[in-house]
Structure 1
Amino acid sequence: MQNSVFDKNIVGERLKILREREEITQKQLAQLLCITQQTYSRYETAKAILPLHHLYALTQYYNVSSDYILGNISHPQAPPQLSERFIQHITIGDFVCLISSFSRKSKRHLIDYVNYLSYQEQLVKKDIQ
């Protein structure tokens, strides 16, 4: 397990980002959690620690992982299961293991190529619309 320090500031920032993304007020969220708006505000401003039961409720409400709210990962959605099929007979875990054996240069080339393919996909989507 990594040595990490719990950072209320990150939690507060993430809560605010999620709330603003959903265009919901602190008061509305507080009502969902059965707390006062002032208490919820203290979570966002890092003046109070978010209790576990509220963390769970917020992950369910926003459909994000608790690791995102806690600042352990940078993307709000949970990663796919490693046992899921990536393509044909290769799982995501198999693919990750394969990539991890690449040289640093090959990994960089792979990232560049994936970014290129992503760009091409976006162009195709724009043409369809």
Structure 2
Amino acid sequence: MQYYERIRAIREDSDLSQDFIATNVLRIGQKTYSDYELNRTRIPIDAIMKLARYYDVSMDYITGASNEKRPFPQR
């Protein structure tokens, strides 16, 4: 699964809207977030980190490097 498919699947599994994630988690516009999910715009690494932290999954899971939903590492 590609990262853009994964971020959509995680969001939908959490019953959250694009607008909620864009506004409250990433602090960007809904259109920009939609472009991430549609693979029209590459998602920046800092946005992947914020999503991983919010959903409590590893960045590897979001990027498709792993299929394990390990928790985001805490410092």
TM-score by structure 2 length?
Answer: 0.87
Partner Cα distance (2:5, 2:68) in 1: 14
Structure 1 moving runs of 4+ over 2 Å: none
Select 2:41's aligned residue among 48, 65, 88: 48
Q: Specify which structure has the bigger relative contact order, considering alpha-carbon pairs within 8 angstroms and separated by 6 or more residues.
A: 2
Alignment of 1:31 onto 2:17: no
Distance 1:34 1:46 in 2: 19
Partner letter of residue 13 of structure 2?
R
**Higher gyration radius (CA):** 1
Distance 1:68 1:43 in 2: 16
What TM-score do you get using the length of structure 1 for normalisation?
A: 0.52
SS at match of 1:46: coil
CA distance in 1, matches of 2:27, 2:67: 28
Q: What's the Cα RMSD here?
A: 1.2
Rounded to whole Å, the distance in 2 between the matches of 1:15 and 1:29 is 10
Q: Aligned pair count? A: 70
1:48-100 per-position Cα deviation (integer Å, ceiling 9, x unaligned): 1111111110000000000011110112225xxxxxxxxxxxxxxxxxxxxxx
Q: Percent identity?
A: 34
- Matches of 1:36 and 1:16, distance apart in 2: 16
